[in-house]
Amino acid sequence: MSHIVIDPEMCKACELCVSVCPKECIEQSDTLNRYGVFPMRMKDGAECTGCTLCATMCPDAAIEVYRTEKQKTE
């Protein structure tokens, strides 16, 4: 399963990533960062497709996308 990692210290909680995620995989954290905001995080159990829309939209480059390759069936 693909997943994202959001650097909580780089995120300013603009929520642009939330607005573009087609699977609604991103939510606000309950822990403050150094800017005094609640950064975004990937939801537990979210089914990320690895589309990279969130990372492309992020103005602070705080999101890394990790894609999982599908196994070929024989």
Q: Does position 74 have pLDDT exceeding 80, yes or no? A: no
- Residue 15, Cβ neighbours under 10 Å: how many? 13
Q: Does position 71 have pLDDT exceeding 80, yes or no? A: no
Domains contained in the chain, CATH given: 3-66 (3.30.70.20)
Give pTM, 2 decimals. 0.87
Write the burial class of residue 44 (CB in 10 Å: 0-12 exposed, 13-18 middle, 19+ buried): exposed
How many residues can be counted in the chain? Answer: 74
pLDDT band at 68 (very low <50, low <70, confident <90, very high): confident
Tens digit of pLDDT for each residue in 15-52?
Answer: 999 999 999 999 999 999 999 999 999 999 999 999 99
Write the burial class of residue 10 (CB in 10 Å: 0-12 exposed, 13-18 middle, 19+ buried): middle
